[in-house]
């Protein structure tokens, strides 16, 4: 009976040791997963900040370009709007540049939206 009792005690101890080992392995995996998640969140946040800064700079450039286009457009209209006059060409050039900047801002904002969705999805995984 004491041999059976000793085996039972040994099995219980082995079972407990296995539980501890499994728990430690699971904890290590969770820690690595959390570290990977934090690293990914940091990279996504850095990319979002970079895009935000680019949007701000592009808005400034758009403001200046639009103002210049408006100036040349008024000058073009003052000079009877000769289609091939220098001021009309400049108005057209700056107008096209402003349109391009608007498209660029739209693209950057879409990229920022995508990054923000990725951040929210990753953050909600707990």
HEC states along 1-43?
Answer: CHHHHHHHHHHHHHHHHHHHHHHHHHHHHHHHHHHHHHHHHHH
**Number of Cβ within a 10 Å radius of residue 95:** 17
Q: List, for residues 17-52, the tens digit of each pLDDT value.
A: 777 676 776 777 888 888 888 899 999 999 999 999
- Cα(100)–Cα(94) distance, rounded to whole angstroms? 10
Burial class (CB in 10 A: 0-12, 13-18, 19+), 68: middle
Per-residue pLDDT of the chain (126 residues; tens, 9 = 90+): 566 676 667 666 777 777 767 677 677 788 888 888 889 999 999 999 999 999 999 999 999 999 999 999 998 888 776 656 788 899 999 999 999 999 999 999 999 999 999 999 988 876
What residue numbers bound the domain in which 85 lies?
2-124
């Amino acid at each position: 009976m004491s041999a059976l009792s000793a085996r039972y005690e040994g099995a219980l101890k082995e079972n407990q040791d296995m539980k501890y080992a499994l728990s430690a392995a699971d904890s290590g995996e969770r820690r690595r997963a959390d570290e990977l998640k934090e690293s990914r969140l940091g990279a996504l946040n850095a990319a979002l900040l970079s895009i935000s800064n680019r949007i701000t700079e592009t808005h400034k450039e758009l403001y200046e370009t639009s103002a210049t286009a408006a100036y040349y457009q008024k000058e073009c209209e003052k000079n009877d709007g000769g289609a091939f006059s220098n001021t009309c060409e400049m108005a057209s050039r700056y107008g096209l540049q402003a349109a391009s900047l608007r498209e660029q801002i739209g693209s950057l904002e879409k990229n920022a939206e995508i990054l923000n969705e990725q951040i929210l999805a990753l953050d909600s995984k707990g």
